[in-house]
Structure 1
Amino acid sequence: MRAGRAPSPLRHCTLLAGLAVALSAHQAGAQDASPDPVTLDRVQVTSARLQAVAAFDVPASLSTITLDGSAATPGVSVSEALGGVPGLAARERQNFAQDTQLSIRGFGARSTFGVRGLRLYADGIPATMPDGQGQVSHFSLAGAERIEVLRGPFSALHGNSSGGVVQIWSADGVDPTQGHAQASAGRDDSRVLSASVRGAGDVFGGALAASRFDTDGWRDHSAARRTSLNAKLHADLPGGGRVQLVGNHFDAPDAQDPLGLTAEQVRDDPRQATAVARQYDTRKSARQDQLGLRLEQPLGGGHALEAMAYAGRREIEQFLSVPVGAQSNPLSSGGVIDLDNDYGGLDLRWRWAGSLAGRTLEFTAGANADRQRQHRRGYENFVGDTLGVRGALRRDERNRVQNLDQYAQAWWQFAPRWSLLAGVRHSDVRFRSRDGYVATGNPDDSGRVDYGETTPVVGLTFAPHDDWRLYASAGRGFETPTFNELGYRADGGAGLAFDLLPATSTNVELGTKWRNARGVRLEAALFRADTDDELAVARNVGGRSSYRNVGSARREGAELAALLPLGTDWSLALAATWLDARFRDAFPICTGAGCTDPTVQVPAGTPIPGTARRQASARLQWQPGDWRFAFEAVGVGRIGVDDTGSEQAPGHVVAHADAARTWNTGHGRWRAFVRVDNVFDRAHIGSVIVNEGNGRYYEPAPGRGVLLGLRWDWQAGMD
């Protein structure tokens, strides 16, 4: 690595090893002072596709966030729960017409809408389509039990666009029946109502959850409403099996989009909406319904069968601010997107838990197939002189993408203190497009392209002590372009960009995990991902982005997470990330309006936009009796907004505080809470729109705000 840049990985390894040795020595002393043994939690590591192996023993960075209803948050966005996960950036945009921005170790950072480059699941059902585009808007926090975040090489076992994995799991039905109701209100007339109920009998059980969110929006022209429903029903089968039916509904009509701001507009008034947002009444409506069926059935002798089938439909209507003049181009697809997505899939796997050479072995093999049928129409966003209404048809195509994957994985504890986790996945992804809009100057754009990739991964874990793990892992990953990225050619010509190649990555990770009987937890990791055929924006014209492969890129860094009990009532949680994400090859791009011949050179070594070099968070909590008080601080470094590095969103540190009081009564438990966000009223940028063609890169975050809430948890049979 060049002088003046980040310390070498070898130096980081030495520091991590020294820290782990020191902590192990401290833990040994603590164990002498305390006879209490450490109990290992044998939880299913679903993100790593393991069942009988504790997360502590997996050679990967895996975080589990428990959602027990104690958080002093509204429960609207998944970003509320992800702030303390190292390596992950979850940026709430104050724009509910767009999804939360998620990236892991720099993967997914370039996405301007939705979630890109990551695999998402809700109750085991993919929320990422076969083309790699995903969304978390339908993730229901009202009835959720936990969120799992998997980072590093083993993410590749989930297939296309596996820069990281985020899974949300809703709670199961239980006996006795229990539930909750919660209401909260905050700034800008934001209101949230949620409720859940869970029950189970000898055979059948279920859980239902619902929430409703309304807001006038912190920025002008940003009002929104969201309604979500989630149901999870189960039936126990003979032999220890279980079948589950999961359904959810999400509806967000006419969420206003204030668009991004330029740096000058942010200085002027960070709460304003861009003028064209009002002019064209930019807005988005989203509706999604889906069902999933999961079967788990032990077969005896350590064998088990797991099967999953799902189907759903997502409808999008979005009004953009594409200028009327830009739509005079015969290749323009207009300024209104009308998108219907029908999707579904199957997953079948066999699992065996036994022994090899007298040592514990868990083996899994399976296959999955997913299909997405997309009817994409585009309309002009004007009729005569009236703007912001649906006009003439300008695009009509039917797209289909499907994948067929096969995978196998084995975990083997081949020695008392050593274990091996290895896996391989082969993926075939096929894109088809049939153009139904052929006109003068706009020829038939139908076409097809196929991608295939094999992604092996391997990890080794060493346990120098019962409560200390060292591990190393390596693997390959790949990321196909999505249909949105295939939608427009970089040369401005007709047809889809079927010349794009998938990006392929080589990932390595070194890490350590440690804990003691007093509840201290420490995890640290070094990582590097080298990508070939990296995808990046080639040009922005008429409100549309086109992409190209730009050579190689590198994402490397270090993560640290710690949980430190500070006595009976105090605790401190820390998370820190250092990330150096850069293009390693120079490449040309277009920057001027209407440009089709790229002449501006992005030099090698330019930081990948949308990534922060440093990110850290700390939460200090005091819980005396029925009270709880907490203070949080979150710091983020500067974030580049485009490939050339022409501008950066300034770094910032923001503090939050919350307090809660609990009352246990004969009719359940009541909890009142108050939260103050941005305690010191710091002006800062919450998220950026990478490579925004008009220079409106910035989405400001709100100033100081207060949230008040009341929650009731009840259980059947209480006096």
Structure 2
Amino acid sequence: MIIKQQQSGLSELDTPAAVSVIDGDDLRRSKPQVNLSESLGAVPGLQVQNRQNYSQDLQLSVRGFGSSSTYGVSGVRMYVDGIPATMPDGQGQTSNIDLNSADKIEVLRGPFSALYGNASGGVVNVDTQSGSQPTQLSVGTYYGSYGSFRNSVKASGATGDGTHAGDVNYTLSASRFTTQGFRDDSSARKNLGNGKLGVRIDDVSTLTLMFNSVTVDAGDPGGLTDAEWKANPTQSPRADQYNTRKTIDQTQFGLRYQRDMSEHDQLSIMTYQGERHTTQYQSIPMSAQKNPAHSGGVIVLSRSYQGIDTRWKHDGNLGSVPVTLTGGLDYETMTERRQGYENYTLDNGVPDYGVKGNERRNEKNTMWNLDPYLQTSWKLTPRWTLDAGMRYSTVSFDSKDYYITQGNGDDSGSTRYHKMLPMGSLNYALTPAWNLYVSAGRGFETPTINQLSYRPDGASGLNINLQPSTSNTVEMGSKTRIGDGLLTAAVFQTDTDNDLVVATSSGGRTSYANAGKTRRRGLELSLDQQLAMDWRVRMAWTLLDATYRNDVCASTSCTADEVVPAGNRMPGIARNMGYASLEWAPPEGFHAGADIRYMSNIQANDDNTAQAPAYTVTGVNAGYRLNWRDNWSLDLFSRVDNLFDRHYVGSVIVNESNGRYFEPAAGRNWGGGATLTYTFE
């Protein structure tokens, strides 16, 4: 099977890789529809945590990749309707994902992820709904703890059935979310819009236009020390002092053209363009900024990005063997203007923090990647299938420094990375409902622009000595269809050279180093079983052992006390994760559900001297679904999360130099909402 995203999506049973597919209705049923963390607990190998901080996004990692990211998502490729939510440098974000109009989310883990190029320790692909007849209009509202509101509207429909020239389908969605926040200085406002318009040009071709826009205005409460977290998890002392906050404004467009060139050949061209503007105020004292090489406590970032992915697919035979070939060329580019300013002005010699002051940084960064790829699938016998693929990835980075003063020299620089990324898998269909597979592949992750920005020794200039990490993964798995359910198991080992890890994290600034060799190995189990009488049970378990295989020194010279010994656990990664849910969901009338999540302790630093303790939390929900007059439907729900009011850490800031590792999770919280839908007949 060709793994590159196709219109029909991935099959959980037949894809020879660890893959989970979450249906859009599951993302919305009895949920606030604000964060991915609400719905992805049933995916093994995926660790997604709500920081309770909308200025820094969710903390998301796959099999440990991305666990050290201090903001956004790194190490994992993300797509929305085929448009990368991950930039060419490997840094991505989840804030533009519209759960209100999502059709499904696919999470891909293991060797096949390498076919997506840079920073593909895993892949999260979001497809939004395509409109169809009859036309529907729905409005939704949600209200919850901490003054949280979410209001939304969605319209979808089509002219014709999509098979005739001129047929059009559309889905338009918009929402607004506001919250005062669980912690002090964590209030947020988020406006999100998403649209998709499809046109049947003729019998063999279609054109799809996609639009997405998001604005975020959020406070940044920052991390707490162990003592601060235990004393008062809602406090935010640095945010109070420095007025830390962040604003984001992003808009993007995409266009996909698909054409059947013949009975056996298909052409697909995807192109997109977007802009993102960010302003962030950090908690950096004036004393630190007195260093002439310091880039200040305010980040002002303007970024434009665009790309094109051209793909050809051929279905045919080589002798008596059915073969599918897919070849393509992926080009992505990003240009950003990054400026830094002091986060204060002086009033009679006293700093007034939270105000943009003098300029301390001004640079233009350009990054692009060019990746040709080829994938093949060979149906050797009715039971045996061989898949193989190759991607050659080139990533180029160039920085031009325009802020040159005494004590702050020219920090311009450039670098380029190349890597061949092969993979292969062999699948055996023991029965039509039971597949066994083995796969192997190589992936790599280049430093992001943020990781290149600061050197661990505190000196000025780019961290140009950073090298990309290279990972080799072997995986074996089993997938079994049991009635209306699916039982999956996967065991894997990933060995990484030059793993990118946090060297220091202080004052809102994080530097990175190459850790030498690391190893991730583990076991993933999942069960999604539909039972009689509208009952459904879902369970997942992840065992992940992630350790350093050699002594690690983050700087050019380390004392014995500064060396991280081989065998230490990699920080930010839980060794065990468990999830179970039971749901009763008839098509009409009362519905209810309960879920329980377990997370083992998480190391907060390389020395393994600080950790977030293990926790178990429970959530319950109930509601009523009413249909009347064949046109109207109303779905009411209420829910309580952290039912037993557990006191726990939701996420950690890896290697935070001041010991402010911990981002507390909310206590017992509640919410309720309603969705009203009218169907035009």
TM-score bracket for the superposition, by shorter chain length? over 0.9
Does residue 236 (structure 1) correspond to residue 236 (structure 2)? The answer is: no
Partner of 1:329: 291
Does residue 657 (structure 1) correspond to residue 620 (structure 2)? The answer is: yes
Alpha-carbon distance in structure 2 between the residues aligned to 1:237 and 1:598:
68
Alpha-carbon distance in structure 1 between the residues aligned to 2:345 and 2:46:
44
Partner of 1:276: 238
Counterpart residue type for residue 367 of structure 1: L
Instruction: Check whether the contact 2:296–2:343 (CA below 8 A) recurs between aligned residues.
Output: yes
- 1:541-568 CA distances to partner (integer Å, 9 max, x unpaired)? 5542222212100011000010233432
Alpha-carbon distance in structure 1 between the residues aligned to 2:600 and 2:12:
30
| Change over 3 Å in CA distance of 1:45–1:701 after alignment to 2 | farther
Alpha-carbon distance in structure 1 between the residues aligned to 2:11 and 2:85:
25
* Displacement after TM superposition at 1:47 (Å): 5.4
Partner of 1:146: 104
| Change over 3 Å in CA distance of 1:685–1:520 after alignment to 2 | same
SS at match of 1:277: helix
Partner of 1:490: 456
SS at match of 1:496: coil
Partner of 1:62: 19
| Change over 3 Å in CA distance of 1:617–1:657 after alignment to 2 | same
Does residue 114 (structure 1) correspond to residue 72 (structure 2)? The answer is: yes
- 1:105-137 CA distances to partner (integer Å, 9 max, x unpaired)? 000001010101000000000010000101111
| Change over 3 Å in CA distance of 1:154–1:50 after alignment to 2 | farther
Instruction: Check whether the contact 2:378–2:387 (CA below 8 A) recurs between aligned residues.
Output: yes
Partner of 1:7: none
Partner of 2:228: 265
Instruction: Check whether the contact 1:490–1:596 (CA below 8 A) recurs between aligned residues.
Output: no
Does residue 105 (structure 1) correspond to residue 63 (structure 2)? The answer is: yes
| Change over 3 Å in CA distance of 1:287–1:50 after alignment to 2 | closer
1:501 corresponds, among 450, 467, 484, to 467
Instruction: Check whether the contact 1:588–1:598 (CA below 8 A) recurs between aligned residues.
Output: no
Does residue 432 (structure 1) correspond to residue 398 (structure 2)? The answer is: yes
Does residue 349 (structure 1) correspond to residue 306 (structure 2)? The answer is: no
Instruction: Check whether the contact 1:584–1:604 (CA below 8 A) recurs between aligned residues.
Output: yes
Instruction: Check whether the contact 1:539–1:596 (CA below 8 A) recurs between aligned residues.
Output: no
Instruction: Check whether the contact 2:457–2:555 (CA below 8 A) recurs between aligned residues.
Output: no
Partner of 1:16: none
Instruction: Check whether the contact 1:539–1:590 (CA below 8 A) recurs between aligned residues.
Output: no
SS at match of 1:259: coil
Partner of 1:205: 169
SS at match of 1:567: coil
**Residues 607-616 or 660-669, more deviating:** 660-669
2:276 corresponds, among 314, 317, 322, to 314
1:163 corresponds, among 89, 96, 121, to 121
Partner of 1:9: none
Partner of 2:374: 408
SS at match of 2:238: helix
Does residue 557 (structure 1) correspond to residue 557 (structure 2)? The answer is: no
SS at match of 1:236: strand
Identity of aligned residues (%): 43
Alpha-carbon distance in structure 2 between the residues aligned to 1:101 and 1:323:
26
Partner of 1:129: 87
Does residue 84 (structure 1) correspond to residue 42 (structure 2)? The answer is: yes
| Change over 3 Å in CA distance of 1:635–1:542 after alignment to 2 | closer
| Change over 3 Å in CA distance of 1:402–1:596 after alignment to 2 | farther
Partner of 2:413: 447
SS at match of 2:214: strand
Counterpart residue type for residue 179 of structure 1: L
Does residue 626 (structure 1) correspond to residue 589 (structure 2)? The answer is: yes
Partner of 2:491: 526
Alpha-carbon distance in structure 2 between the residues aligned to 1:557 and 1:698:
26
* Displacement after TM superposition at 1:271 (Å): 1.0
* Displacement after TM superposition at 1:356 (Å): 2.4
User: TM-score, normalized by length of structure 1?
Assistant: 0.91
| Change over 3 Å in CA distance of 1:541–1:182 after alignment to 2 | closer
* Displacement after TM superposition at 1:712 (Å): 1.3
SS at match of 2:30: coil
- 1:410-431 CA distances to partner (integer Å, 9 max, x unpaired)? 1111111000111000011000
SS at match of 2:380: strand
Alpha-carbon distance in structure 2 between the residues aligned to 1:544 and 1:98:
13
Alpha-carbon distance in structure 2 between the residues aligned to 1:153 and 1:504:
12
* Displacement after TM superposition at 1:239 (Å): 2.7
2:345 corresponds, among 375, 380, 383, to 383
**Residues 260-269 or 68-77, more deviating:** 68-77
| Change over 3 Å in CA distance of 1:579–1:48 after alignment to 2 | farther
Does residue 256 (structure 1) correspond to residue 214 (structure 2)? The answer is: no
| Change over 3 Å in CA distance of 1:50–1:73 after alignment to 2 | closer
**Residues 566-575 or 186-195, more deviating:** 566-575
1:512 corresponds, among 469, 475, 478, to 478
* Displacement after TM superposition at 1:50 (Å): 8.5
Partner of 2:670: 706
User: TM-score, normalized by length of structure 2?
Assistant: 0.96
Instruction: Check whether the contact 2:398–2:413 (CA below 8 A) recurs between aligned residues.
Output: yes
1:678 corresponds, among 638, 642, 650, to 642
Instruction: Check whether the contact 1:48–1:154 (CA below 8 A) recurs between aligned residues.
Output: no
SS at match of 2:478: strand
Alpha-carbon distance in structure 2 between the residues aligned to 1:285 and 1:209:
22
* Displacement after TM superposition at 1:56 (Å): 1.8
* Correspondence 1:569-718 to 2 at 5 A: 569-589=534-554, 600-623=562-585, 626-666=589-629, 667-717=631-681
Alpha-carbon distance in structure 1 between the residues aligned to 2:580 and 2:213:
35
Counterpart residue type for residue 595 of structure 2: E
Partner of 2:434: 468
Instruction: Check whether the contact 2:67–2:573 (CA below 8 A) recurs between aligned residues.
Output: yes
Counterpart residue type for residue 361 of structure 1: V
Counterpart residue type for residue 234 of structure 2: R
* Displacement after TM superposition at 1:538 (Å): 2.4
Does residue 535 (structure 1) correspond to residue 500 (structure 2)? The answer is: yes
Counterpart residue type for residue 185 of structure 2: H
* Displacement after TM superposition at 1:601 (Å): 1.1
Does residue 175 (structure 1) correspond to residue 114 (structure 2)? The answer is: no
Does residue 194 (structure 1) correspond to residue 152 (structure 2)? The answer is: yes
Alpha-carbon distance in structure 1 between the residues aligned to 2:509 and 2:294:
9
Does residue 220 (structure 1) correspond to residue 184 (structure 2)? The answer is: yes
Alpha-carbon distance in structure 2 between the residues aligned to 1:576 and 1:411:
30
* Displacement after TM superposition at 1:537 (Å): 2.2
Instruction: Check whether the contact 1:140–1:229 (CA below 8 A) recurs between aligned residues.
Output: yes
* Displacement after TM superposition at 1:514 (Å): 0.3
Alpha-carbon distance in structure 2 between the residues aligned to 1:490 and 1:479:
19
| Change over 3 Å in CA distance of 1:95–1:225 after alignment to 2 | same
Alpha-carbon distance in structure 2 between the residues aligned to 1:102 and 1:382:
33
Alpha-carbon distance in structure 2 between the residues aligned to 1:635 and 1:62:
21
Structure 2 gap ranges (5+)? 161-166
Alpha-carbon distance in structure 2 between the residues aligned to 1:154 and 1:409:
11
SS at match of 1:141: coil
Alpha-carbon distance in structure 2 between the residues aligned to 1:70 and 1:644:
41
Counterpart residue type for residue 532 of structure 1: D
**Residues 547-556 or 434-443, more deviating:** 547-556
1:245 corresponds, among 209, 226, 235, to 209
Instruction: Check whether the contact 1:590–1:598 (CA below 8 A) recurs between aligned residues.
Output: no
Alpha-carbon distance in structure 1 between the residues aligned to 2:317 and 2:145:
58
* Displacement after TM superposition at 1:386 (Å): 1.2
SS at match of 1:485: helix
* Correspondence 1:292-311 to 2 at 5 A: 292-311=254-273
* Displacement after TM superposition at 1:395 (Å): 0.2
* Displacement after TM superposition at 1:48 (Å): 5.4
Partner of 1:22: none
